[in-house]
Amino acid sequence: MGLTSVAPRVAVSVVTVLAALTAACASGERSTAGESAEPVHYVALGDSYTSAPGTGRGVGSPIGCERSDNNYPRLVAAELAPASFTDASCGGATTEHLTSPQQTADGTNPPQLDALTPDTTLVTLGIGGNDVGLVQLAGQCAEVAAEGGRCGESAAVEERVGNTVAAVAEAVRAVRERAPDARVLVVGYPTILPADPATCADVLPHDLADLAALREGLDLLNHVLEQQANAHGARFVDTATPTAEHHLCAAEGQRWIEGLESTTGAAPLHPTARGERAIADAVLAAIRTR
């Protein structure tokens, strides 16, 4: 075989390798995002911190679940471009509504786990807050504070969180059973209140001791979520750390959690659109880190 016949083949081989390397480099960011040759079938489960009422245009059925087109599952899906995507989240959901229908003010949401199949490859689960009732408790304490009183609920908050451990454990187990080949991410709750309750003195009417108890309750709930995720083959996504300086008592331009009265359209004491973006970024970072 002469040199004239070898050279073109070598040139073609080099071009082929360079083309493959270029394609690999170009797709590197997408592959680190958790994508692979296998199609991604993504299902989002959760409560109002997942459905994110008021952070965008309402989408999905039933309307009573108040899902936003700007919630973190949709922001995640927009980047992953999955082969299929189902947002089963619903405002007001508890762990019970993973396996039972949920009646809303406008329609019934099927059991959220019904959205899972053996083909599901990615699940995000944000649940437990309504089991504890921290948002409702915060509202009640605000009413008490307006009359000059305090809740004094520190022990009760710990008890409430303690009572959710078994329910959270069962929720993660059930997800794993319904979608045995899926990557399961248990998404924690963002920082709602600052570490120093005095920061909220001019923002919230609550007694500072009540604020401290509520903050400790949310920290404890996140700990339970992380613990049960680790115990049942899932991964916990910390959203409290990236939102730590953006609690509801932060300066207006830095606030990613709505106050007792909404100024952005988001539900009171829930993430704003910027908060949902921060949660989505935390979820994407977890997906990209294998």
**pLDDT tens-digit series, residues 55-111:** 999 999 999 999 999 999 999 999 999 999 999 999 999 999 999 999 999 999 999
Q: Which amino acid is at 182?
A: A
Residue 202's pLDDT is what? 85
Q: Is 51 a catalytic residue?
A: no
Q: What is the mean pLDDT of residues 161-175?
A: 96
| Confidence at 148, pLDDT banded by 50, 70, 90 | confident
Residue bearing the bigger pLDDT, 13 or 152: 152
Q: Is 223 a catalytic residue?
A: no
| Nearest in space to 98 (alpha carbons), one of 49, 46, 173 | 46
pLDDT in tens, 213-244: 889 999 999 999 999 999 999 999 999 999 99
Q: Which of 41, 48, 97, 232 is catalytic?
A: 48
| Confidence at 206, pLDDT banded by 50, 70, 90 | confident
205 three-state secondary structure = coil
**Which two tokens mark 74?**
């949709």
**Which two tokens mark 85?**
């995507």
- C-alpha distance across the termini of the chain, in Å: 48
Q: Are 150 and 159 in contact (CB under 8 A)?
A: no
Distance, in Å, from the CA atom of 154 to the CA atom of 35, rounded to the nearest integer, reads: 44
Distance, in Å, from the CA atom of 268 to the CA atom of 248, rounded to the nearest integer, reads: 10
62: cis peptide before it, omega within 30°? yes
User: Thinking of the domain 40-288, which architecture would CATH place it in?
Assistant: 3-Layer(aba) Sandwich (3.40)
Q: Which of 97, 246, 247, 270 is catalytic?
A: 270
